[in-house]
Amino acid sequence: MRKQFEGYDEHDAERWVAEPVKRPGRTAFARDRARVLHSAALRRLAAKTQVVTAGSDDFVRNRLTHSLEVAQIGRELASTLGCDPDIVDAACLAHDLGHPPFGHNGERALDQLATGIGGFEGNAQTLRLLTRLESKTFDPAGRSVGLNLSRATLDATCKYPWFRRDGERKFGVYDDDAAVFGWLRQGVGDRRCIEAQVMDFADDVAYSVHDVEDGIVAHSIDLDHIGAERAPYWEAVRQTYLPEASDAELDEGWLRLTGLPYWPSGPFDDSRRALGGLKDLTSQLIGRFCTAAEQATHARFGRSRLIRYEADLVVPQGTRTEIALLKGIGMFHVLNSPARQARRAIQRELLTELVEALHKTAPLHLDAAFTADFAEAADDDARFRVIIDQVASLTDPSAQAWHTTLVH
């Protein structure tokens, strides 16, 4: 077997279904990254909501641009820690593949609809997509095994490496994907490898700074106003990200951020200078957060090469607070506006009606691949899971188009 990135072994590079090596000069992990990069599922993210509905604005991010930015952050941080950058890059590119139309709003709608079959969760759907739904490789019996990524790369995509638990909304695998999950997670329990932790942190960093950037450009976030009226923002931070944080802790984090030499002063006026200053802010903050994690992790573990289950990513509490503050600001302004709440209700209703319509007529209107899955399904629950898979695969515009055709 060809040599892998230093520190990784044949167990890490093993695939669920063995494949011949076509280009000996590439590592298994470089091949993994290429498979995700060239996947249809990644392309579809260009028309899926990040925060603002996809296609409604030429500046703000969609799921694809967000994933590319996460991959850049994750790859550089992985390199400083000694992880294989291709593993982390691939995991970052893949981390949102399972998101349905309309982002987390669509995720909640599908979860409610799928209550009787184990629910729906974007991360569990990502694993299902990578190991079953995205066509690339097939087992000897002719069943799809998805992109057939290596164990180490697939493991790095597992943000929540456990089955659904009572009272928990976040989980990473459905019951009927247990076999491949058991294969990739041999003997590691609920732990996350450091590559998965880097992916998750890169995701947090990216959307903490980029959602604020998008909100400022859209004139829905005024940083000066936040300084004067902190209470509702701090409550948003506590409700979603740091429930135990005190006002004093959040005040201190905010003072650190606003005291940075590159923090913007004055209102945003859409000029090139203002846009340049805002872009410098995002770049500087990304560097600040990643450097803090890199230094703390190396200080804790004292080695230059940190891989798999040999170490954990260490993020200083002050850095976690600063990231949570930015995420809370984005949540408060961008997600909770009355107009957006009304739109989100319409989106949930649309997905509910679409699932119901497809369920009544299936397999009549399903794509060919899902029609085959429906025919092979063992029972009603498995057939309904196919309906959920089909709807989750749609983009925002295609979900709206299907709804117009099948419901109206």
Would you state the pLDDT for residue 57?
47
**Strands, E assignment, 226-360:** none
- Residue 3 banded pLDDT, cuts 50, 70, 90: low
- Residue 403 banded pLDDT, cuts 50, 70, 90: very high
- Residue 336 banded pLDDT, cuts 50, 70, 90: low
Would you state the pLDDT for residue 75?
98
Q: What tens digit of pLDDT does each residue of 211-234 get?
A: 899 889 888 888 888 877 888 899
Overall residue count recorded for the chain in this entry: 408
Query: Quick one: what percent of the chain has pLDDT higher than 90?
Result: 79
Query: Which tokens belong to 233?
Result: 């923002």
Q: What angle do CA 131, 112, 36 make, to 5 degrees?
A: 25
Would you state the pLDDT for residue 316?
98
Distance CA(352)–CA(346), nearest Å, equals 10
Q: Mean of the pLDDT values across residues 385-394? A: 98
Q: What tens digit of pLDDT does each residue of 123-139 get?
A: 999 999 999 999 999 99
- Residue 266 banded pLDDT, cuts 50, 70, 90: confident
Where would I find the H helices in 302-395? 317-330, 338-361, 368-376, 380-393
Mean pLDDT of the chain: 92
